[in-house]
Amino acid sequence: MDKKKIKKPDFDSFIAVFPELELPITLTDESHMHFSASNKPLPQAHVHEFIFKIEQSDFDEFTEFVPCFRIPKTYDFHAIIYWRAGLMDYEYTLATFTKKGQLIDKRVIAGTKVHDGLLVRSVATIEEDWLIYVVIGSTDVEEKETNASNSRSFNMELLATGEIIII
């Protein structure tokens, strides 16, 4: 019986799944629907070879990953955004890699989750200069009221080295 060896996907084929999009781009809790409709699905082999290795949170067979886009003009590295859907936990992750596929950095930059009885939503805008503006707000799950005083914002920056810092 001849067992065929399954070929691992290469990093270039993984990166190619993420289309380059012009900035600025805003990521909301509904943006993933556009990316799901317009982008090819992330092949399971790519999820196993690349995404699972950088995800540090729990996931199961029901967790879904959607390729969103690649940040343009990152000459010395690659920067991608993907959406992760779990049970009551939806996140947009910015991950950066060397040209050879080594992870440089990763951060969740937007999403929706339930935490301590609060529905926490965050929206991120990535500007042309790689500044990332994040606004976070929360709603009491039982009262279904948004309290503006619970909102906050902060900024991140994608550096030319591929590092992602909070500023």
Cβ–Cβ under 8 Å, residues 115 and 121: no
When comparing pLDDT for 61 and 121, which is higher?
121
Position 1 scores a pLDDT of: 46
Question: Is residue 24 predicted with pLDDT exceeding 70?
Answer: yes
Dihedral sign from CA coordinates of 159, 112, 14, 37? negative
The mean predicted confidence, pLDDT, of the chain is 90
pLDDT cut 90: percent of the chain above it: 69
Average pLDDT over residues 4-30: 90
Enumerate the domain spans of the chain: 11-166
- Which DSSP string corresponds to the chain? --PPPPPPPPHHHHHHTS-B-PSPEEE-TTHHHHHHHHS----HHHIIIIIHHH--S---TT-EEEEEEE-S--TTEEEEEEEEEETTEEEEEEEEEETTS-EEEEEEEEEEEEETTEEEEEEEEE-TTSEEEEEEEEEETTT--B-GGG-EEEEEEE-TTS-EEE-
- When pLDDT is cut at 50, 70 and 90, the band that residue 138 belongs to is confident
Asked which of 35-39, 130-134, 142-146, 155-159 is least confident by mean pLDDT, the reply is: 142-146
When comparing pLDDT for 148 and 99, which is higher?
99
- Tens of pLDDT along 45-87? 999 899 988 886 667 778 899 999 999 999 999 999 999 998 8
